[in-house]
Amino acid sequence: MYKSILLTLIVLLTACQKTGQESLLIEDAWVREAPPNASMLAGYVTLTNNTEEVLTLTSAASKQFNHVEIHRTVVENGVAKMRHQKELPIPAGESVKLEPGGYHFMLMHPESAVKADDEVLITVRFHQADDPNATQELDIVMPVKKP
């Protein structure tokens, strides 16, 4: 009896440690609410790389949207434009913020209208810089909020 409780505790502790050492930590995920007929929404998140290697985001997808791209807003001659990013590197031990005016997930052509208090689930793919073939996946739950 005691043995099985002890074993359960050890298993639980190990599980906790694993989540504490998430290689890519997700914080402050949200999607900016847009008018019901909007064809594009922007998703934001802070990603922290807890490894000692560069982690490179290569793509994102969601069942709720036809297409998801990584974009960066840049200002050229006073005009804000969005540029498609083929990849987004996150330096070892550092955080990259996807936030209004900068990087964002461009959520294109929703399958159905998305409004405040809904949740958007996207799956991002990334790999270690030195190992492009070992792709990993990470699910991000993004609550939809009014700006």
Contact positions toward Cu ion, by CB under 5 A?
71, 82, 106
Judged by beta carbon, residue 98 or residue 138, the one nearer Cu ion is 98
Nearest distance from C-beta of residue 42 to Cu ion, angstroms: 6
Judged by beta carbon, residue 25 or residue 82, the one nearer Cu ion is 82
The closest alpha carbon to 126, from 69, 54, 65, belongs to 54
Cβ-proximal residues to 68 (8 Å cutoff; 6+ apart), any chain: 59, 60, 61, 62, 105, 106, 107, 108, 122
- φ and ψ of 76, to 5 deg: -120, 125
Nearest distance from C-beta of residue 107 to Cu ion, angstroms: 9
Judged by beta carbon, residue 1 or residue 80, the one nearer Cu ion is 80
Nearest distance from C-beta of residue 35 to Cu ion, angstroms: 16
Q: At 126, which helix (H) or strand (E)? A: strand 119-128
The closest alpha carbon to 25, from 144, 129, 131, 126, belongs to 126
The residue sitting closest to Cu ion, measured at its beta carbon, is 71
Nearest distance from C-beta of residue 103 to Cu ion, angstroms: 9
Residue 125 burial (CB count, 10 A):
14
Judged by beta carbon, residue 71 or residue 127, the one nearer Cu ion is 71
